[in-house]
Amino acid sequence: MAGYFRHHFTVLRYDLRGHGSTAVSPDAFGIDDLADDLAELLDKLGAPKTHVVGLSIGGIVAQSFAARHTDKTDTLTVVGTPAFIPEDAQPTFRQRAASVRENGTASIVEATLDRWLTADFRKTHPEVVEQIGETIAQTPAEGFARAAETVSTFDARARLESVRNRMLVIAGEHDSGTPPAASKVVAETVPGAQFHLLEAAHLRASFTRRAVAAILCVAGRVLTRIELGSANERAR
């Protein structure tokens, strides 16, 4: 997604604790700790405010960030993200944590790809699917497990009512992990939030031009059709 925005914004992408190049935390942590990590990172980079865009767990962290660090939040966009994890779904996250601790993250690649991507996308973009699968398999088991455990108890409903930033919520029509209704709760809770439904599963690996336009609009950049088309072509 960075390709869509790099000509109009300074884009910061970073790894959560226990993911990518960030070490596994020696202690247990919560979503608020992950939100505070972002606040600390922005301070170290000298960035007073930011347009926050988060997908999946990134959207969960983004909600906490906006509630805890209002002064650092310009706009907020969350993708494939619920306002809370229902009680009956919480054991699923704990089971995933236990499974990767015992068998490694490579053991959940296929099931995760089935949940994250549509069958059509998997068929037509095998190179992207392979890259995503490798990323999952290379994630440290303990890092994945701790993230799954902290997500299992997430509930931002009470705090979302206080969020006053411009906000966009994007959901995928075929997202079995975070159904559109779950994401819509976020939009219905935050005053003035916009809701967009895309023809996609959990990972919006092939963002539509409409989605990009909506994100840019919320971020305060109104582009002409030509500019948006050029940005879209550059990102392909």
pTM of the entire structure? 0.87
**Confidence at residue 3, expressed as pLDDT on a 0 to 100 scale:** 72
Tokens 């582009």 locate to 223
| Residue 87 pLDDT > 60 | yes
Confidence of residue 96 (pLDDT cuts 50, 70, 90): very high
Span 167-221, pLDDT tens digits: 999 998 888 889 999 999 999 999 999 898 888 888 754 555 566 666 666 666 5
Which helix (H) or strand (E) segment holds residue 40: the answer is helix 31-45
> Among the CATH numbers 3.10.310.70, 3.10.580.10, 3.30.200.20, 3.40.50.1820, which is that of 2-235?
3.40.50.1820
Terminal Cα distance for the chain, rounded: 10
Which helix (H) or strand (E) segment holds residue 74: the answer is strand 73-79
Give the alpha-carbon dihedral of 48, 73, 55, 67, to 10 degrees. Answer: 130
Domain ranges of the chain: 2-235
Q: Is 28 exposed, middle or buried (0-12, 13-18, 19+ CB in 10 A)?
A: exposed
